Amino acid sequence: MSTLPVLIVGGGPVGLSASIFLSAFGIRSLLVERHPGTSIVPKARGINARTMEIYRQFGVEAAIRSAGLPPEKSGLIVWTESLAGREIERRVPGRASPRNQGMSPVANCLCAQDDLEPVLRRFAEAQAPAELRFDTEFLSVTQDADGVDAVLLDRRTGVESSVRAQYVIAADGNQSRIRRLVGARMIGPEKIYDSVNMVFNADLRPWTAHRPSALYFVEQPDLRGTFLTINAHDRWGFLIHSLSQYGYTPADFTDERCIAMIRQAVGVPDLPVRMLGLSAWEASAFVADQYRHGRIFLTGDAAHEMPPTGGFGMNTGVQDVHNLSWKLAAVLRGEAGDSLLDTYHAERQPWGTVTTKVALDNCLSMGRTERQAGAKLPRAEFLSEQGLIFGASYDSAAVIPDGTMPEANDSPITQYIPSARPGARAPHVWLWRDGERISTVDLFGPWFTLLTGPEGAGWREAFAGRAVAYTVGRELEDRDGLWLAAYGLAADGAVLVRPDGQVGWRARSGIGDAAGVFDGVFESVMGL
Ligand SMILES: Cc1cc2nc3c(=O)[nH]c(=O)nc-3n(C[C@H](O)[C@H](O)[C@H](O)COP(=O)(O)OP(=O)(O)OC[C@H]3O[C@@H](n4cnc5c(N)ncnc54)[C@H](O)[C@@H]3O)c2cc1C
């Protein structure tokens, strides 16, 4: 039996993204998904700007935008007594403020999961050397020092087979079998509220088109729910939460009852409505204590389950596999030591914990876990979490500190302070190349990138062949004169950006032995 480099279990957004990322690094993978096709449920819809930067890096951004809605069709958040009744409040989410939009060359996108996954599948299948097998269920796994043996079931034929892989990415969602098999301990509250998500056809434009919003909350004494924008025309979701607090169980939601509730929430008793589907789910807010279990890595909802309040679950998962993929590629290509893989847990688990806590605090502030007599609007941080979107900063063996302290930030959830301190996301600055404007963010990936100041020639020579190098002031023009200050560099300084766009190392100014420093930098980041 030949050994496969990577087995990906789960063909949700996280597994499909992992397949695309690994192929871009030339790493062969097999993805198995137990369902015959991609999701038929529009769960996640909000893809934040950081995740869209990542999809842009891999050439998928434009296709996602054409499958989704432009920001101007979903820019607000609205609270009403009913869609046709009194409006309680409307907010422009902080994420949409001009200052925050200026933090990235890329805007967020609203694209429902059942529209997104076919796009990801198309890209994953088009890219050799990936293989995707639907209707294939992962059953069990054992691992030894050299690899992992997994048992798979072909659900069409009922035939079981084994595959041997060097590594497994567990992207098998919130019911993760792998998570149980490896004995991961989940930290945090489980099953904090229950919910049903309806999908239906109805033309809601008369009550929505003049106030385009991603979410329309309905607050009535006996009905609290949320209209979820999908195509902003005739396809919508309606989410009822906290069922048990209102005396419901999912079984109560017959088509007739769903239609009656939708009409009540719109405030139009004879509104034509056609039900398309219903899914029941429970929100938890817990995170695996360990993301790495030998050769098995927990990612996405298998690693962390969070309430959807804030729209972080899928985004965090895609960013998990973005972090993991280049590390697996480096180890599989023999360019890095095994300890680089430990930094996946060291970097992503603390961030998953912070994000899950913010999602939980959002949901508590909205009274999702209790019965409310009247409207309860969320805290101001809700959908203004700019610090969470761009502010992930890692402290691990794959980051070389430069002795500077993190920037003071009195509101780390809502406020992103751009910084090129090692560990942080390399900030967006507009530069010019061959007369065209380009963002620094678009220079990063697929492998390491070295950016030096105009007098950083020594760094360029030292890093030659190991990183794509640019001198700002030579092939890149800094017409606004902002880059050196934004990156905290003198003219002879340099910064090494990892394949995931995070800063791995920074020399704020030049030193004598650039070649000697270079060896130490790579050995350290790569765990050699
Ligand atoms: C109402 C709602 C709204 C949400 N809104 C947002 C949002 O706006 N933004 C956001 O970022 N997140 C949002 N989320 C969360 C988001 O949906 C999840 O975080 C996301 O789906 C996680 O992706 P995943 O690939 O890790 O898991 P999943 O999407 O659950 O995919 C896991 C896949 O693994 C497969 N699988 C499981 N077990 C096996 C097995 N044994 N063998 C083979 N295949 C297997 C499953 O069939 C499934 O296809 C929302 C969730 C809900 C419920």
DSSP symbols for 241-310: E-GGGGT--GGG--HHHHHHHHHHHHT-TT---EEEEEEEEEE--EEES-SEETTEEE-GGGTEE--STT
How far apart CA 399 and CA 396 sit, in angstroms, is 6
C-alpha distances (whole Å) from 156 to each of 30, 76, 181 are 18, 45, 25
Task: Judge whether 218 and 238 are in contact, CB under 8 Å.
Answer: no
Q: What is the whole-number distance in angstroms between the Cα of residue 445 and the centre of ligand 1?
A: 26
**Which of 38, 134, 172, 385 is the pocket-test mutation for ligand 1 (most atoms within 8 Å of CB)?**
172
DSSP three-state, residue 465: coil
So what's the pLDDT on residue 160?
A: 97
Q: What is the whole-number distance in angstroms between the Cα of residue 173 and the centre of ligand 1?
A: 5
**Can you say whether the dihedral through the CA atoms of 371, 376, 378, 379 is positive or negative?**
negative
Spans of all domains in the chain: 3-68+111-186+286-388, 69-107+193-283, 396-526
Task: Kindly state the tokens that stand for 455.
Answer: 């007098």
Q: What is the whole-number distance in angstroms between the Cα of residue 286 and the centre of ligand 1?
A: 15
* Per-residue pLDDT tens over the stretch 471-497: 999 999 999 999 999 999 999 999 999
So what's the pLDDT on residue 247?
A: 85
* Per-residue pLDDT tens over the stretch 120-140: 999 999 998 899 999 999 999
Q: What is the whole-number distance in angstroms between the Cα of residue 414 and the centre of ligand 1?
A: 26
Q: What is the whole-number distance in angstroms between the Cα of residue 10 and the centre of ligand 1?
A: 9
So what's the pLDDT on residue 373?
A: 67
Q: What is the whole-number distance in angstroms between the Cα of residue 12 and the centre of ligand 1?
A: 6
- The yes/no answer on whether domain 3-68+111-186+286-388 falls in CATH 3.40.470.10 is no
Task: Judge whether 494 and 450 are in contact, CB under 8 Å.
Answer: yes
Looking at domain 69-107+193-283, its CATH superfamily turns out to be D-Amino Acid Oxidase, subunit A, domain 2 (3.30.9.10)
Atom 14 of ligand 1: nearest residue by CA position:
44
Does residue 514 carry a pLDDT above 80?
no
What contacts 89, CB < 8 A, 6 or more positions away?
78, 79, 377
Q: What is the whole-number distance in angstroms between the Cα of residue 504 and the centre of ligand 1?
A: 30
**Which of 41, 43, 385 is the pocket-test mutation for ligand 1 (most atoms within 8 Å of CB)?**
43
Atom 17 of ligand 1: nearest residue by CA position:
44
- The yes/no answer on whether domain 396-526 falls in CATH 3.40.50.1580 is no
Task: Judge whether 494 and 451 are in contact, CB under 8 Å.
Answer: yes
Q: How confident is the model at residue 1 (pLDDT cuts 50, 70, 90)?
A: low
* Per-residue pLDDT tens over the stretch 163-203: 999 999 999 999 999 999 999 999 999 999 999 999 999 99
Q: What is the whole-number distance in angstroms between the Cα of residue 41 and the centre of ligand 1?
A: 10
Q: What is the whole-number distance in angstroms between the Cα of residue 68 and the centre of ligand 1?
A: 18
Q: What is the model's pTM?
A: 0.97
So what's the pLDDT on residue 521?
A: 86
Does residue 311 carry a pLDDT above 70?
yes
Rounded to an integer, the average pLDDT of 289-307 is 98
Ligand 1 — pocket residues by CB below 6 A? 9-15, 32-35, 43-46, 113, 137-138, 171-174, 177, 197, 239, 281, 300-301, 308, 311-315, 317
Does residue 374 carry a pLDDT above 80?
no
One-letter amino acid at 514 equals A
Q: What is the whole-number distance in angstroms between the Cα of residue 335 and the centre of ligand 1?
A: 32
In degrees and rounded to multiples of 5, residue 152 shows phi and psi of -120, 150
Rounded to an integer, the average pLDDT of 290-311 is 97
How far apart CA 347 and CA 304 sit, in angstroms, is 14
Q: What is the whole-number distance in angstroms between the Cα of residue 507 and the centre of ligand 1?
A: 40
Residue 35 CA: nearest ligand 1 atom is 47
Residue 137 CA: nearest ligand 1 atom is 42
So what's the pLDDT on residue 520?
A: 84
Task: Judge whether 11 and 32 are in contact, CB under 8 Å.
Answer: yes
Does residue 513 carry a pLDDT above 80?
no
Atom 49 of ligand 1: nearest residue by CA position:
12
Residue 136 CA: nearest ligand 1 atom is 43
Task: Kindly state the tokens that stand for 407.
Answer: 């920037």
**Which of 19, 34, 199 is the pocket-test mutation for ligand 1 (most atoms within 8 Å of CB)?**
34
Q: What is the whole-number distance in angstroms between the Cα of residue 13 and the centre of ligand 1?
A: 7
Atom 52 of ligand 1: nearest residue by CA position:
43
DSSP run (H or E) holding 137:
strand 136-143
Does residue 395 carry a pLDDT above 70?
yes
**Which of 109, 180, 301 is the pocket-test mutation for ligand 1 (most atoms within 8 Å of CB)?**
301
